Amino acid sequence: MAKLMNIQCPHGHVVAIDVKHVGRKVRCPICEVVMMVPRMTVAAPVVAPLVGQSAVMPISSDDDADAGVDREEVITERLAITQLYKAFQVYIARLYVIVIAALAFGGYVAYLAFEAAANNPPVRRAMEGEPKVSIGLAIITWLVILSVIVLEIVSIVFASSTPERSKARPTFWIYVVLTVVNYIASIVAVIMRANGNGWGVLVSQIIGFATFVYFILYIKALAVYLDRDDLSKKAKGLLILFGVMMAGFIAVMLPSAIAGANQPRGRNEGGDVAAVLALVGGLVTFVAGIWMILRYVRLLVAMRDELKKRAQAGKGAA
């Protein structure tokens, strides 16, 4: 009777294989990826191949061209998975920085608003231009922005190793291009805003939305490559939720703009309807936004954990 051992392919499928194939190339019967059988010093418990699947097929040196994947490519793919794991660690750190900074800034603004409403003289003077408050806030803001940019660059460097055979690679590079364009548009928007023109901010926001959408599409394609249909569905659900949030945002902005454009100066016809739509749209945007952030964090964490598992499996099989 043949002596069998477990082996895991780069896609995570565990199959049983005869130990005589150690050091040779074989093809996974499930996903057909070609891999090297590692040398194992301790025999592992045997898990039989899935029902209905053929046995692992050895690949001879003459079959290399037909296989289309050699040992070097398998090793490269394992390294790519490890790099992607690091990339998603940085993505999560970057998201936490943004969320914490947004909450801190929002709390600070709310504090000043409430204190000003209560006619607190010291805070009123601070809001009127106290140098220490404005300079300190500006320094903190720029430090946060710089941290986000550095984390973004690091994550892109790691994620640039997305495997060639992955359909996620083209989507990733579109996301990178949009990210660069978004930073340029943000700088232009600041300049235009200083000159009293708000169109730059709107264009920058639209590009930012497109960047987010393509990043989720990248995660979705990566999940398909990793055979994680559950993560792919979560990414699709996140895109739908993002669409709901955008609908709420439009409900906030559009009615007031139309009402202001279609009525004579000094009249307020339709103002109540616009106010109600704006309130409903604002609530939808807020609720959908909070829910989307929570699901976004969970998706990033799930993808990171999957990549970590694949990376550790690759090291164990090397």
- Which residues, 6+ apart, have CB-to-CB distance to 299 below 8 Å? 219, 231, 234, 235, 238
Please tell me the distance from the alpha carbon of residue 110 to that of residue 231, in angstroms, as a whole number.
37
Tokens linked to 307: 């990549």
Task: Confirm whether 67 is domain-assigned.
Answer: no
Please tell me the distance from the alpha carbon of residue 20 to that of residue 26, in angstroms, as a whole number.
12
Are 88 and 127 found together in one domain?
Answer: yes
Please tell me the distance from the alpha carbon of residue 166 to that of residue 221, in angstroms, as a whole number.
8
Task: Confirm whether 210 is domain-assigned.
Answer: no
Please tell me the distance from the alpha carbon of residue 243 to that of residue 277, in angstroms, as a whole number.
17
Task: Confirm whether 249 is domain-assigned.
Answer: no
Are 35 and 92 found together in one domain?
Answer: no
Q: Is residue 138's pLDDT more than 90? A: no
Domain boundary among 12, 32, 60: 60
Are 44 and 121 found together in one domain?
Answer: no
Could you count the other beta carbons within 10 Å of the beta carbon of residue 181? 15
Beta strands 34-36 and 57-59, pairing class: unpaired
**How confident is the model over 217-233, as pLDDT tens digits?**
999 999 988 888 899 99
Domain boundary among 112, 145, 165: 165
Task: Confirm whether 267 is domain-assigned.
Answer: no
> How distant, in Å, are the alpha carbons of 65, 152, 242, 282, 301 from that of 253?
59, 30, 17, 9, 33
| pLDDT score at 272 | 63
What's the pLDDT band for 59 if we cut at 50, 70, 90? very low
Q: Is residue 317's pLDDT more than 50? A: no
Are 101 and 130 found together in one domain?
Answer: yes
Tokens linked to 193: 């805003």
- Which residues, 6+ apart, have CB-to-CB distance to 16 below 8 Å? 4, 5, 6, 7, 46, 47, 48, 49, 56
**How confident is the model over 23-54, as pLDDT tens digits?**
777 877 777 677 778 765 344 444 444 433 33
Domain boundary among 165, 180, 203: 165
Give how many domains the chain has, as a whole number. Answer: 2
Are 52 and 123 found together in one domain?
Answer: no
Are 103 and 127 found together in one domain?
Answer: yes
Task: Confirm whether 318 is domain-assigned.
Answer: no
Task: Confirm whether 206 is domain-assigned.
Answer: no
| pLDDT score at 118 | 56
Q: Which is more confidently placed, 115 or 1?
A: 115
Q: Phi and psi for 25 in degrees, rounded to 5?
A: -90, 135
Beta strands 57-59 and 25-27, pairing class: antiparallel
Task: Confirm whether 133 is domain-assigned.
Answer: yes
Are 84 and 52 found together in one domain?
Answer: no
| pLDDT score at 279 | 74
Are 13 and 56 found together in one domain?
Answer: yes
Supply the range of the domain harboring residue 19: 4-60
